[in-house]
Amino acid sequence: MESQVVSMSRGRIVTVLAFIILLSEIATFEILMVLPALPHMAPAFQTLNIAWVVSIVTLAGGTMMPLVGKASDKWGKKRVILSLAVFFIAGSVLCAVATSFAMLMAGRILQGSLMGIVTISYGLIRDIIPRDVVPIALGAAVTGIGMSAIASPFIAGWLIDHTGYQGIFWFMAAYVAVLIPFYALIVPESPVRVDRPLDYLGVVLLGPGIGIMLVGITRGARAGWTDALTLAALIGGAAMLVGFVVWQRFAPSPLIDLNVLFGRRFGPTVLAVACIAYMMSAHSLLIPTMLQTPSGLPGISYGSGLSAMQFAIWTCPLGIASMFAGPLGGIISKRIGARYVLVTAALLFLVVMFMGSRLFTIQWQVAVMSSIMGFAVGFLHSSNANLIQDALPASQGGIGNAISGMGSLLAGGIATTLTGVVMSRHVLAVNPQTHAVLYADTAITRGYLYAAIVGVVGLAVALIMRHGRTPAQGGLRQDTAPDAIGGVEPVSLAPTTP
């Protein structure tokens, strides 16, 4: 049984898609606006643990993702997205008025709901947009990443300068609050419902398992990989994930069909995308160091001495290019297959890894590198969205997208941590007053080299896998997936209302 969609005119499709994109943009806003505010927040809360302001969002989002994904399959994707948006507003307000670091952390945990908004949005597009338009619509969703990537640094800079770090949280709260009523009125609800009991043990094993693994990875970079708590987190998290897989074989209502999870479509896609996205995360850590380090320092060949605003200007071609690459990737996916778009993304990332390793720090060189990176990012996200939707039956759409998003979170956490470890082994000097670190050239070059090696693994998986070699179809055409373990999962179609 196919998932039914509302008949839409072209204008209605554009309007609906625009509001889905606008709300999903909050993820990019959150990342790119909070990062430049960290130096202002650390003295305000008198803490040396300011990095947790970023890490806690990933941990919270990863932990709640399975529950959010399954809830969207059971009660409706639009309903869950709007609920998550309310949690995000509450978290933003709490951060803005926080008078202690613990209060700030509580607000950031609530803001972790934004990750569910993004992942479920892909499934919502698949459920409500006419099937022949879905591949291009999924590619167009990447446009939001490009737009917010361009605007965020400038908005953040102005708000921090004029209102303090609190301004960025008030801005995010107001942005989402304004969008909610329009989203509720204009975007239709998904008609797909899966009327099965929630696998609570599966949720407890999967979400916290990923979260504990991320804690171990984050702690390992700081306290060492032989630290007792680091090992406990890594081993405990891995054990919970293994336990999840074993439990899914016997659970009366499994969280996800293991034939889907480890099938020839979904599994290879998640692995390939995770390895290729590793390069994106590594570059995001390396490029600010390379360009914001003062130029002309003895012992290094890189450094442009850019301020945060100058860095935003030099690298803005990334956002512009990704705005065009997203829809283009969707068009190519629809015509020849999303796998080819993913392979192209991997090759472009490898070009960026090479350029970065050459320590290019002249503006035109950075502009070229950022433009190539933008096309790589756009192609990666558009191909991933199409490959994942075409790998999932409608009954597994919410939880499948959640697990795919968790894979990306884990890959990003590993990439950032391991790249940081590589850099820490090539420190040239440390300022005793400011504790600012000056890295040797090899910190940058080897960071890019190791990221490229991981990316080559992703490219190899993409080249070998059979999935995505035919034109994208806007979702797996069957609404029940064979399940040798627990039968088939029934899908009901709820009335589609705005």
Domain residue extents for the chain: 1-190, 200-255, 257-476
Task: Choose the weakest-confidence range: 236-250, 354-368, 382-396.
Answer: 382-396
pLDDT of 6: 54
Give the CATH fold of the 1-190 domain: Growth Hormone; Chain: A; (1.20.1250)
* Rounded Cα gap, residues 132 and 116, in angstroms: 26
pLDDT number for residue 376: 96
pLDDT of 379: 95
- Give pLDDT, residue 195: 74
CA 252 – CA 303 distance, rounded (Å): 58
Higher per-residue confidence, 159 vs 7: 159
CA 51, distance to chain mean position in Å, is: 18
Query: What's residue 66's pLDDT?
Result: 81
For the cut 90, the answer to whether the pLDDT of residue 299 exceeds it is no
Q: How confident is the model at residue 479 (pLDDT cuts 50, 70, 90)?
A: very low
For residue 179, the model assigns a pLDDT of 95
At residue 207, the pLDDT reads 82
Who wins on pLDDT, 309 or 159? Answer: 159
Asked if 1-190 and 257-476 have one fold, the answer is yes
| 169 vs 62: which has the higher pLDDT | 169
Identify the weakest region by mean pLDDT among 33-47, 237-251, 326-340, 455-469: 33-47
Which has more confidence, 168 or 491?
A: 168
Instruction: Find where tokens 């979904």 sit.
Output: 266
Whole-number pLDDT of residue 476: 76
Q: Are 33 and 49 in contact (CB under 8 A)?
A: no
As a whole number, mean pLDDT of residues 191-213 equals 83
CA distance 412 to 279: 9
Range scoring the smallest mean pLDDT among 39-53, 248-262, 413-427? 39-53
- The yes-or-no verdict on residue 32 having pLDDT over 80 is no
Mean pLDDT of 314-333: 90
Contacts of residue 242, Cβ cutoff 8 Å, sequence gap at least 6: none
Tokens (6 digits) for 18: 């625009």
Which has the higher per-residue pLDDT, 403 or 336?
336
Comparing 130 with 42, the larger pLDDT belongs to: 130
- When pLDDT is averaged across residues 151-160 and rounded to a whole number, the result is 82
Single pTM value for the model: 0.83
- 193's CB contacts (< 8 A; 6+ apart) are 73, 74, 75, 76, 491, 492, 493, 494
Lowest mean pLDDT across 79-83, 106-110, 117-121, 193-197: 193-197
CB neighbour list of residue 11: distance below 8 Å, 6 or more residues apart: none
* Sign of the alpha-carbon dihedral angle for 205, 73, 337, 317: negative
Higher pLDDT, 202 or 307: 202
Q: 8 φ, ψ to 5°?
A: -130, 140
Q: State the pLDDT confidence band at 285, using cuts at 50, 70 and 90.
A: confident
Angle between helices 114-128 and 26-34 (to 10 degrees): 160
User: Comparing 145-149, 208-212, 264-268, 391-395, which segment has the lowest mean pLDDT?
Assistant: 145-149
CATH number for the domain whose boundaries are 257-476: 1.20.1250.20
Average pLDDT, the chain: 85
Q: Is the pLDDT of residue 271 over 70?
A: yes
Is the pLDDT confidence value at 61 over 50? yes
Do 356 and 349 contact (CB within 8 A), yes or no? no
Look at residue 144 and tell me whether its pLDDT is greater than 50: yes
Spatial contact of 143 and 323, defined as CB atoms under 8 Å apart? yes
**Mean pLDDT (whole number) for 67-95:** 91
